[in-house]
């Protein structure tokens, strides 16, 4: 019987990270890892003691098998992962800035993602995926289902999967939505993206968003204005430009300062924040305490080069 409290839905990716920071054209060797926003959340939850499953599709290739093996090693439920015999596992290459004199070196504590995911197995997620018995078992048994705006941007079929999920009767099950506005994924169809992500946010019970993306999608980063713009979700969590957070539980507002940290790399910190917050929430903690736990997990991500926080990274585990 499936026991995952949280079902995270989205594309799992292979990640190639340069062994030595610097301009990408100067990097000769790369370390293989796994990533993707929804995967990072599932790993963060599972390694903190909150049972989590990833709902995704991978290719019938070595990268796909590695993704599944690594998820299993981190304790993530992979019973609903579908293997596509024709499409490849999605890939991205991380460019990590260093301190070289190369004109294209991004500089310290700066990273950039280069996606190679068009036509991937994950981009073929669709409403029919939700009809698979393994997927239904995970979704129906979850306390919370987690989506992000990235999945909606991947393809028409992935968009339709998101719309189908938010339209399902949920009963006591919660649905969380992390805005995750990615300009490159919406290039040339920005207006469609703004409209769609707004609709998905309004259909969710819990919404996570950053100030910059809130300005793009909702034309405001003011917490009280956003609460008025988004009256439907019970919980809204807004991270400001300094990574402090304002959270609403209904009309009750909580302002929670960020923790101090020397930033090594920002990629993955938002996913760690989401994992910390959702893990605390489904474990029965209040919204303020959940934000505090989210800050603690985000700090660990900010202080490392990894996309997700693993079991040995020192954050407190949920009971």
Question: Which residues are catalytic, by number?
Answer: 271
Beta strands 90-96 and 111-116 are: antiparallel
Q: What is the DSSP letter of 188?
A: T
Strands 144-148 and 174-178: parallel
> Distance between CA atoms of 1 and 114, rounded to whole angstroms?
38
Joined together, the tokens standing for residue 207 give 């919404």
What is the rounded distance in angstroms from the CA atom of residue 125 to the CA atom of residue 80? 12
Q: Which residues contact 185 (CB under 8 A, 6 or more apart)?
A: 115, 150, 153, 154, 193
Tokens linked to 11: 């594309």
Say whether 100 sits in a helix, a strand or coil.
coil
b/e 286-306 (16+ beta carbons within 10 angstroms → b): ebbbbbbbbbbbbbbbbbbbb
Q: Which two tokens stand for residue 151?
A: 């999945």
Distance in angstroms (rounded) separating the CA atoms of residues 103 and 126: 42
Q: Rounded to 5 degrees, what are φ and ψ at 248? A: -120, 130
Cβ-proximal residues to 241 (8 Å cutoff; 6+ apart), any chain: 211, 212, 221
Torsion of Cα atoms, 189 then 195 then 196 then 197, to 10°: 100
């Amino acid at each position: 019987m499936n026991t995952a409290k949280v079902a995270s839905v989205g594309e799992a990716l292979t990640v190639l990270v340069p062994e030595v920071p610097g301009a990408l054209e100067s990097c000769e060797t790369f370390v293989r890892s796994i990533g993707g926003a929804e995967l990072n959340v599932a790993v963060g939850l599972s390694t903190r003691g909150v049972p989590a499953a990833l709902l995704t599709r991978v290719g019938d290739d070595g990268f796909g098998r590695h993704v599944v093996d690594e998820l299993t090693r981190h304790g993530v439920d992979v019973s609903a992962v579908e293997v596509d015999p024709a499409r490849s596992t999605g890939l991205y290459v991380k460019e990590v800035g260093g301190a070289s004199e190369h004109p294209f070196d991004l500089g310290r504590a700066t990273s950039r993602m280069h996606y190679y995911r068009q036509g991937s197995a994950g981009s073929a997620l669709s409403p029919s995926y939700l009809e698979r018995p393994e997927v239904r078992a995970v979704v129906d048994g979850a306390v919370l289902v987690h989506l992000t705006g990235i999945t909606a941007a991947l393809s028409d079929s992935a968009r339709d999967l998101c719309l189908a999920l938010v339209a399902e009767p949920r009963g006591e099950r919660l649905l969380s939505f992390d805005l995750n506005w990615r300009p490159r994924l919406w290039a040339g169809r920005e207006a469609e993206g703004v409209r769609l992500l707004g609709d998905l946010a309004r259909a969710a019970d819990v919404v996570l968003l950053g100030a910059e993306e809130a300005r793009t999608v909702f034309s405001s980063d003011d917490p009280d204005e956003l609460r008025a713009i988004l009256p439907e979700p019970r919980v809204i969590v807004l991270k400001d430009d300094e990574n402090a957070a304002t959270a609403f539980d209904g009309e009750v507002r909580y302002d929670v300062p960020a923790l101090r940290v020397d930033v090594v790399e920002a990629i993955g910190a938002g996913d760690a924040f989401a994992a910390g917050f959702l893990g605390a929430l489904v474990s029965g903690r209040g919204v303020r305490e959940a934000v505090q736990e989210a800050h603690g997990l985000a700090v660990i991500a900010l202080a490392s080069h990894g996309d997700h926080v693993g079991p040995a990274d020192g954050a407190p585990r949920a009971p």
